[in-house]
Structure 1
Amino acid sequence: MAEIRNCPKCDSFFNYTGVREVCHKCAQSEEELYQIVYRFLRKRENRAATVERIVEATGADQDLLYKWVRKGRLQPAMFPNLGYPCDNCGHLTTTGKLCSKCQDALKSDLRTFDAAKEFRDGIAARDKATYHGERDNS
């Protein structure tokens, strides 16, 4: 079911159906801008352009480029210098929310945490163990 929302770009009302985050008019202007960016990138000399160069040459918003890469409309395999910022450090990545360096650091931290937990659990189990000695009933 649709709900009424304000367009984040032009502040007009539109029916939000879960497909687009902006009104129809802004979606059309985004699509036109996408076509300009795509035509720019299709030229052989521009395929390795950085995000900054694309913004400079086409007038596209940097966040819009990141959105298109996240959604798969602009493929980093075809345009190797494209990506979007890692949610942790801000370096460009092409998959997921974290770059490979941050993923590796997180995995390392989790391994360290697991090892420390196992060590604490081992100590707790050892401390709970009771030792019964022989009792002298004389």
Structure 2
Amino acid sequence: MALNYKTCGYCGRIFQSSGASACPECLRKMEDQFKTIKEYLYQHPRASVEEVSKETEIDEKLILHFLREGRLEMVAADGFLVCEKCGAPITSGRLCKKCSDTLAHALGSVLPKQNHVDEDQTNNRKSMGSGKMDKLHVNINSRK
């Protein structure tokens, strides 16, 4: 397998990549900054992006990056973050619900339909379960 090298989008260093757009050092720094933002938001849950940036000394662009990734969510869609397709205000991610549903429908209509489900796949689904109890739920209000 050939090694894949990229230039870090943040510091400009060349690094061996496994798909990330940032080098391991920048990823570690970003995680540290995310923890700082998260701690600040625990103490100030209704803080604006501008306030978080000012008080933590973390660039608004990085906070926007975390919002786009869906790692953070705004309390209200105030226009700071907008849908990349239609421009509607959103609280997290890249697309509004309407555009996301439209994209999912479009992808579903072009992907081949699976009419035949073999017995192993059916048994795997049964063993994995389905529903809300199978998902990890995190309560951000309770901290250890």
Name the TM-score, length of structure 1 as normaliser: 0.57
Q: Percent of counterpart pairs with the same letter?
A: 27
Q: Which moved more, 1:5-14 or 1:84-93?
A: 84-93
When you count helix as a share of all residues, which structure comes out higher? 1
C-alpha spacing 1:97/1:28, structure 2 compared with 1 (3 Å): closer
When you count strand as a share of all residues, which structure comes out higher? 1
Letter in 1 for 2:64: Y
2:45 paired residue number: 47
Q: Is the 8 A contact 1:9 1:22 kept in 2?
A: yes
Distance in 2, Cα, partners of 1:96 & 1:25: 25
Q: Is the 8 A contact 1:12 1:23 kept in 2?
A: yes
Across the aligned residues of Structure 1 and Structure 2, the Cα RMSD in angstroms comes to: 2.8
Distance in 2, Cα, partners of 1:95 & 1:80: 9
Q: Which moved more, 1:54-63 or 1:32-41?
A: 54-63
Distance in 2, Cα, partners of 1:68 & 1:60: 12
Larger of the two Rg values belongs to structure? 1
Task: For structure 1, list consecutive stretches of 5 or more residues without a partner in the other structure.
Answer: 104-138
C-alpha spacing 1:5/1:32, structure 2 compared with 1 (3 Å): same
Name the TM-score, length of structure 2 as normaliser: 0.55
Distance in 2, Cα, partners of 1:33 & 1:53: 15
Number of paired residues? Answer: 97
Q: Does residue 31 of structure 1 match 2:31?
A: yes
2:117 paired residue number: none
2:75 paired residue number: 80
